[in-house]
Amino acid sequence: MAEPWPAVDRDRPTGRRSDNSRTRRQIRTRWLTGIAGLLTVAAVSGCGQLPSDMAAEPQAKSSSSASSRPTAASPSSSASADRSATAKQSAKASAKPSARTKPAAKTSSTPSARATSKASSTPKKSAEPKAIPAGKTLFAPGDDGKQVREVQARLKQIDWFSGSLTDHYGPTTTAAVKGFQDKRNLTVTGTVDETTWSKLTQMTEEPTATELKNAEPAGKAIMKAGQTSDKIKELQARLAQLDWFSEKVTGYYGSVTSQAVQGFQAKRGLEATGDVDQKTWSSLTGMTDQPTKAELSGSDSSSDGGSTAGLDDRCMTGRAICINKSTSQLTWVVDGKPQLHFDVRFGADTTPTREGAFSVGWKAEDWESTLYHSKMPYSMFFSGGQAVHYSSDFAARGYAGASHGCVNVRDLEGIKSLFSQAQVGDKVIVYRS
């Protein structure tokens, strides 16, 4: 047990206090002062660790003057001391950064060398990409040729050129090229240079013959070579009304009919396939009348239009193969009535077809020339080595070629029919009208 504090003897007369009593008062004063300091520290530090600068024991100086009882601090002075201690601690705490808090960056009065410029109220335009330099000029305004047509066709594939293709590099082509160049960030010149041409060919396909000829692509064939029908009779009769078909209406779609259809298609800006699609048929029916029974029957008698006009008088009797070199036509006539009618081709100037009255000397269904080693099917010889026969070259190339003196027929079915009817000894009349 601690020794109790000695009681103050109030009845004791005042006077000089003993040394023993003074010592006790000094001890109690120091003890109370220490407790007050600890309470102040606890109030400031709370439950946390005591700051290092507050760890030292507070220095409380005892008064050198003796007093009958220890002097108690007034509430106002204690509160003031607390506020002062708190303010000091707060100031020191803000002066020293925490381990988990970065110190605030110092504000420099000197502007940075890399300071950005002030924002403008008007936004700046983004830099436009530089145009790709032009290369060597390949085609320019004023040029003419098939390559200009190809340029137009390629531009048309990507909708930069409209209208019909031509061989001339005019204002329309120039405008189309400029638009293409501008869209592709190329140097806009209106001329086709190496860079422009390279870009254009990368984006397009090789133009077809149909495109280059301004022809519309063909659709599905509704009539084609090798077929036989009444509809083909109508086709042949309608083509005959426009002078594209001059043979007898048979209903068989042979090479002559195919050639006639090709010519009609090319003339009308359609893809010349030789087969009849819906576009070809619509175009043909729009330009012709419904064929009559006589036209569909294939009758070619003089009473049906004077088809004997232009025939040599020698052809009007008996059986005769009449060949008119002026009109390039062959007519098979029996007793003055035409039976068959073909396009024919003759020999070149160096190997002309002989003219005059001849007769069929002999026939060969499958013959090959002993001089030129070319095939001569369905041959009917009338003058030495000259004969009437089928020619695949004539069927393929038309009048671009010539024979070695023979009379070429390109209608295979027609020549088959003539070969089956004509006999050795029948007349062959070659003449000019």
Residue 398: what pLDDT? 84
Domain membership of residue 383 (yes or no) is yes
Domain membership of residue 353 (yes or no) is yes
Q: Domain check: are 202 and 285 in the same one?
A: no
Structure token pair of residue 154: 């390629």
Q: Residue 227 sits in which domain range?
A: 221-297
pLDDT confidence tier of residue 74, bands split at 50, 70 and 90: very low
Which one of 271, 297, 323 terminates a domain? 297
Tens of pLDDT along 9-27?
444 444 455 556 666 777 7
Tens of pLDDT along 132-148?
777 799 999 999 999 99
Q: Domain check: are 229 and 148 in the same one?
A: no
Counted domains in the chain: 4
CA angle 380, 326, 239 (to 5 degrees): 85
Q: Domain check: are 351 and 385 in the same one?
A: yes
Which one of 212, 229, 262 terminates a domain? 212
Domain membership of residue 231 (yes or no) is yes
* Mean pLDDT over each residue of the chain, to the nearest integer: 77
Residue 34: what pLDDT? 66
Q: Domain check: are 292 and 225 in the same one?
A: yes
The reported pTM is 0.36
Q: Domain check: are 162 and 181 in the same one?
A: yes
Q: Does residue 203 or residue 13 have the better pLDDT? A: 203
Q: Domain check: are 200 and 281 in the same one?
A: no
CATH number at residue 348: 2.40.440.10
Q: Domain check: are 287 and 371 in the same one?
A: no
Domain membership of residue 103 (yes or no) is no
Helix (H) or strand (E) holding 94: helix 75-95
Residue 26: what pLDDT? 72
Residue 37: what pLDDT? 60
Q: Domain check: are 171 and 236 in the same one?
A: no
| 3-class secondary-structure state, position 132 | strand
Euclidean distance between CA atoms 432 and 310, whole angstroms: 9
Euclidean distance between CA atoms 350 and 328, whole angstroms: 18
Does the annotation mark 389 as catalytic? yes
Q: Domain check: are 419 and 323 in the same one?
A: yes
Residue 127: what pLDDT? 57
Active-site annotation holder among 322, 341, 389, 404: 389
Active-site annotation holder among 315, 322, 341, 406: 406
Tens of pLDDT along 96-124?
444 444 444 444 444 444 444 455 555 55
How many other CB atoms are there within 10 angstroms of residue 338's CB atom? 20
pLDDT confidence tier of residue 31, bands split at 50, 70 and 90: low
